[in-house]
Amino acid sequence: MTENKTKFDLQTLARVLALAKPHARIFIISGALAITLALLSAITPKIVNIMVDDYVMVKDMPGLFRMAGIFAAVVLVTVVFRYLFIYITGLLGQSVIKDLRVQTFQHITSLRMRYFDQTPIGKTTTRTINDIESINTIFTQGVITMIADVLGIFAILGFMLQSSWRLTLVCLTTLPLLILATYIFKEKVKKAYQKVRAHITSMNVFLQERISGMRVVQIFNAEEREMGKFKKINRDYTKANLDSILYYAIFFPVIEIIQYGTLAIMVWWGAKWFVEDSLTIGVLVAFPMYINRLYRPIRMLADKLNTIQMGLVAAERVFTVLDDRSIIADIGYKTLEKSDGNIEFKNVSFAYDEENYVLNDISFELNKHETLAIVGSTGSGKTTIINILNRFYDIQKGEILLDGVDVKKYKIDDLRKRISIVLQDVFLFTGTVLENITLKDPSISKEKVVEAATAIGAHDFIMNMPEGYDYVVSERGGNLSMGQRQLISFVRALVFDPDVLILDEATSSIDKETEGLIQYAIEKLIAKRSSIIIAHRLSTIRHADKIMVLDKGRLVEFGSHDELLAIEGGKFKELYELQFADLEFAE
């Protein structure tokens, strides 16, 4: 188990390091700097040793000045190199995570809808922001410095042994204590950090959801309850952080005690041997410096191991997202420049979860430029039909054909370009009205947008907004009415000039004036192209060439408006009378 884990860690580490490949030069430079710095830190005590023994003791002042010059030079080089090292490892880390963020975002945008159905938004956000940030530390404080530290330790030990092997051995007697303390600390902090990570994720998930749903929270006076939940998450998070701080607070003083203990033993034996004349004063002066330099990296080593460990845990999570193969398999090879818009469903069955079928054995045909209206009670599978048509989800049984070819055979981009969808709940991004229509596609000019807006009668209405096309829409379209959002989404669908238009009519009722605009827009939208409309409006249903009635995922009736009304005791007749009879009367 542990062995497996270690192997796994090493694999993850290798994969993280591989991310630095495009920045190999920076990697090598920082590695070289790290090694140089480690050696430089081992050299200074040796210089002091020589200064004392060869110059101070023989009162060679010019020589002493020369040595002091060398000492100063070493210190100066160390300072410059350290500056370069910190900057360059930082550069390396930032370059790697910059690439990784792009890679992750790109991967997320290609994931299947199913992934988003099952993963809280906050979790995905944490992966792309916090977790990737932790990977940064593998480069800045992790691997490279650690290798340098280990090298430094060996270099220092080398100098120590060369100066006096007996005194070195004396110093090493406390080593087991040091290793034990470091090990305990490392394990404790690791557990604390894992908790910290988990709590960050749950806090992000919680906040993301509540802030998005703030209206509901306030409408139902749930502030206090939600506050209570938040306080608990916050408390857990703080406790996890404090736990890790506590371990540091204990560890550092413990290490200091061991260090001073070592110093005491060293001075004791060193002084004894000096008095016995078997040790020079220079060695006695240099050894405390060696001990200091030996302990500094050891003290940091535990911390760095943890940093790497944390980085690896984070990396594993990011890699899980990257390795999530639940992307829609784009096995399509057929290009689709222009479609006739002939759609055929052949015995299509579909389940979101591979188990509970929400569509059963649906078959129908829609010819060029025809309009199909889908009606059915809520949850009957209307939206699902459009979800599978442009392959948000892949079906389990049957075939969906566009122009006689299975939709899976088309390149997915081409397929989606030819089919425009207006969703039931319109989603607008923060940005101008224009940007929301073009989705920043540079190939769509403003003229084209104005043309499309004019065609469906939305131009005047957009111009009536404070800054017209430059009016800034707030997040998710918060500062626009439902009707306004819909009209914008109609223009969005039309500028792409699709061959198939799909419209999931919003159920919300809208004021008479906007309603008129929307009706006009829909008529324009469906003219001269095949369209499928999930209809809630009588006018839309009347315009349709064909009507499909869905009931609990089954196609129960199919035909023209008049044909369906003629079926005695038919589902459509029933729905029609329930929903529209009064309306018709009122018109």
Ligand X SMILES: Nc1ncnc2c1ncn2[C@@H]1O[C@H](COP(=O)(O)OP(=O)(O)OP(=O)(O)O)[C@@H](O)[C@H]1O
Matching residue, tokens 């430079």: 29
Name which position in 383, 396, 432, 579 contacts Mg ion (CB under 5 A).
Answer: 383
Of residues 367 and 383, the one with the C-beta less far from ligand X: 383
Assign 26 to helix, strand or coil: helix
Q: Is 443 in the site for ligand X (CB under 6 A)?
A: no
514 binds, among ligand X, Mg ion, none (CB under 5 to 8 A by kind): none
Name which position in 128, 383, 539, 579 contacts ligand X (CB under 6 A).
Answer: 383
Of residues 56 and 533, the one with the C-beta less far from Mg ion: 533
Of residues 385 and 501, the one with the C-beta less far from ligand X: 385
Q: Is 479 in the site for Mg ion (CB under 5 A)?
A: no
Q: Which span (43-51, 84-92, 142-150, 375-383) binds ligand X, by CB under 6 A?
A: 375-383
Of residues 320 and 377, the one with the C-beta less far from ligand X: 377
Q: Which span (38-46, 374-382, 425-433, 439-447) binds ligand X, by CB under 6 A?
A: 374-382
Which residues have a Cβ under 8 Å from the Cβ of 377 and sit 6 or more positions away? 551, 575
Q: Which span (241-249, 305-313, 381-389, 537-545) binds Mg ion, by CB under 5 A?
A: 381-389
Q: Binding string, 406-435, against ligand X, x = CB under 6 A? A: ------------------x-----------
Instruction: List the structure tokens of 151.
Output: 């090298």
Residues listed for the chain: 587
Name which position in 380, 484, 486, 540 contacts ligand X (CB under 6 A).
Answer: 380
Q: Is 478 in the site for ligand X (CB under 6 A)?
A: no
In the range 110-169, which residues lie near ligand X by CB under 6 A?
117
Q: Are 558 and 570 in contact (CB under 8 A)?
A: no
In the range 311-330, which residues lie near ligand X by CB under 6 A?
none
Distance from C-alpha of 35 to C-alpha of 27, rounded to nearest angstrom? 12
Q: Is 270 in the site for ligand X (CB under 6 A)?
A: no
Distance from C-alpha of 319 to C-alpha of 312, rounded to nearest angstrom? 10
Sign of the torsion angle spanned by Cα atoms 167, 168, 171, 176: negative
Helical residues (DSSP H) of 276-381, grouped into ranges: 281-323
Q: Is 348 in the site for ligand X (CB under 6 A)?
A: no
429 binds, among ligand X, Mg ion, none (CB under 5 to 8 A by kind): none
Which of these, 391, 484, 495, 397, lies nearest to 437 by C-alpha position? Answer: 495
Name which position in 384, 390, 420, 436 contacts ligand X (CB under 6 A).
Answer: 384
Distance from C-alpha of 398 to C-alpha of 394, rounded to nearest angstrom? 11
Q: Is 503 in the site for ligand X (CB under 6 A)?
A: no
Q: Is 208 in the site for ligand X (CB under 6 A)?
A: no
Number of Cβ within a 10 Å radius of residue 163: 21
Distance from C-alpha of 110 to C-alpha of 369, rounded to nearest angstrom? 31
Assign 187 to helix, strand or coil: helix
Q: Is 358 in the site for ligand X (CB under 6 A)?
A: yes
Name which position in 378, 466, 512, 562 contacts ligand X (CB under 6 A).
Answer: 378
Q: Is 382 in the site for ligand X (CB under 6 A)?
A: yes
Number of Cβ within a 10 Å radius of residue 124: 20
Helical residues (DSSP H) of 426-473, grouped into ranges: 433-438, 446-455, 459-463
Matching residue, tokens 């929400």: 358
Minimum separation from the CB atom of position 340 to Mg ion (A): 27
Of residues 256 and 574, the one with the C-beta less far from ligand X: 574
Q: Which span (104-112, 200-208, 322-330, 372-380) binds ligand X, by CB under 6 A?
A: 372-380
Minimum separation from the CB atom of position 383 to Mg ion (A): 3
Side-chain half-sphere CA neighbours of 181 within 13 A: 22
376 binds, among ligand X, Mg ion, none (CB under 5 to 8 A by kind): ligand X
352 binds, among ligand X, Mg ion, none (CB under 5 to 8 A by kind): ligand X
- Separation in Å, CA 400 to CA 111, 167, 408, 483, 538: 21, 82, 8, 32, 28
Bridging pattern class, strands 530-534 and 371-376 = parallel
Bridging pattern class, strands 343-351 and 500-504 = unpaired
For 60, counting Cβ atoms within 10 Å of its Cβ (0-12 exposed, 13-18 middle, 19+ buried), the class is middle
Of residues 148 and 502, the one with the C-beta less far from Mg ion: 502
- List contacts with ligand X (CB under 6 A): 117, 352, 358, 376, 378-384, 424
Residues that bind Mg ion (CB under 5 A): 383
